[in-house]
Amino acid sequence: MQVNKIKQMKRCVLLLSIIALGACTGKNNRSDAYGTFESTEVTVSAETAGRIMKLDAEEGNKVDEGNITVVIDTLDLYLKKLQVAAQRSAAETKLNNILSQIEVQKQQKKNLMVDKNRVENMLKEKAATQKQLDDINGSLSLLDKQITSIETQNISVAAEMKAYDAQLVQIQENIHKCYIRNPVAGTILTRYAEQGEIAYAGKALYKIADLNTMYLRVYISGSQLARVKLGQKVTVIIDDDNTSSEQLGGEVSWISSSSEFTPKIIQTREERVNLVYAMKVRVKNDQRLKIGMPGEILFK
């Protein structure tokens, strides 16, 4: 009697195992590709060197696009800006003095031209000598040379002022870079720095991603490739628990133009196929999808 009960129990266990295996096999057979979810991640880095005065990037927080999340110390840049501004002001004063000298020289030339006309008229009436006219012409020639020399200085100082203006623009741009604005709306994934640390150009500060839209990266075989096209609607399958799954809508957003060897973590329907094509399926996230979460797709 006891032996019969044991045999019956073994038959039940064997039957349940076959049913479970059949259920798993059936689930795998109905899926056309497998992969994991990912998102478009953006790493925000410092563009200039300095101490981090503010870092508003807590992991898990949602940040809007354009928000100032990082502020780097601008004191050195501000002092340099004051210095260049003072140098430009001194150059501007020098330029104004040069322009005043040119006006004085031009007025003197105008006065000499009046004297020249008067002497020329007197010379016609023999009331003046040729030497007087020659002296005036010599003075006019000297004034022209002085005006040319002063105008050369004017060009030099004007070029110097343009250089200062360019420096001021560059310093202001560097100050602007100290206020880092969040490039995309999304969720902070990783924080790489802390307030008070010294940043340098290119230092990663935090990583952010828009988790409202996720991408399921899957791999399909060459025989499946002909069935797929961009914009195609597919069914995305995710695990709900150990015994059931849920279906979501997805759209093919990218298909690789070249094949690659099958990744070890990926299993396709045709396991003998060594070369596969990567593909991304865009899925609207209802907050259930996570980065690295496994998923499957079913072609409609």
Q: State the average pLDDT over residues 147-160.
A: 84
| Ranges 3-7, 183-187, 202-206, 245-249: which has the least confidence | 3-7
3-state secondary structure of 65: coil
226 and 156 co-located in one domain: no
DSSP helix/strand/coil, 158: helix
Distance CA 250, CA 218 (A): 12
Q: Which residue has the tokens 């150009």?
A: 201
Are both 219 and 248 inside the same structural domain? yes
Assess if residue 186 is contained within a domain: yes
- The DSSP output letter for 185 is -
pTM above 0.75, yes or no: no
Q: Residue 24 falls within a domain, yes or no? A: no
Say if residue 118's pLDDT is above 90.
no
The region, left, alpha or beta by phi > 0 then psi within -120 to 50, assigned to residue 60 is left
- Assess whether 241 and 116 both reside in one domain: no
pLDDT at 4 over 60: no
Tell me which residue range forms the domain holding 163. 75-176
pLDDT per residue as tens digits for the range 232-242: 999 999 987 76
Quickly list H helices, 2-129. 2-30, 75-124
Percent of the chain with pLDDT over 70: 85
Q: Which two tokens stand for residue 154?
A: 């004017």
In order, the DSSP letters of 265-297 are T---S-TT--EEEEEEEEEE--S---TT-EEEE
* 195 and 136 within one domain: no
Examine the domain organization and report whether 136 and 271 are in the same domain.
no
Q: What is the pLDDT of residue 281?
A: 96
Long-range contacts (CB closer than 8 Å, 24 or more residues apart) made by 258-266: 259/222, 262/219, 263/219, 266/34, 266/35, 266/218, 266/219
Which pLDDT score is estimated for 12? 45
> Residue 5 falls within a domain, yes or no?
no
pLDDT band at 274 (very low <50, low <70, confident <90, very high): low
**The predicted structure's pLDDT at residue 222:** 85
Q: Looking at the predicted structure, is the pLDDT value of residue 155 above 70?
A: yes
Is residue 18 situated within a structural domain? no
Number of domains present in the structure of the chain: 3
Asked if residue 19 belongs to a domain, the reply is no
Same domain membership, residue 199 and residue 243 = no
For residue 298, is pLDDT > 50? yes
Confidence of residue 128 (pLDDT cuts 50, 70, 90): confident
pLDDT at 68 over 70: yes
Asked whether residue 53 falls in the same domain as residue 190, the answer is yes
Average pLDDT for 234-258: 88
Distance, in Å, from the CA atom of 184 to the CA atom of 63, rounded to the nearest integer, reads 8
Domain co-membership, 142 together with 275: no
pLDDT computed for residue 270 by the predictor? 53
Mean pLDDT of the chain: 85
**pLDDT for residue 6:** 42
- Cβ burial of 299 (10 Å; 0-12, 13-18, 19+) is middle
Distance CA 254, CA 216 (A): 10
> Is there a domain that residue 2 lies in?
no
Distance CA 52, CA 193 (A): 9
- Residue 189 tokens read as 């994934």
Asked whether residue 284 falls in the same domain as residue 158, the answer is no
6-59 pLDDT, tens per residue?
445 444 433 334 333 344 434 445 688 999 999 999 999 999 999 999 999 999
Q: What is the CATH number of the domain that holds 50?
A: 2.40.50.100
Per-residue pLDDT, 14:
37
Same structural domain, 140 and 50: no
Structure tokens at 110: 């105008």
Report whether pLDDT(264) > 80: no
Let me know whether 119 and 240 are in one domain: no
Assigned domain for 242 exists: yes
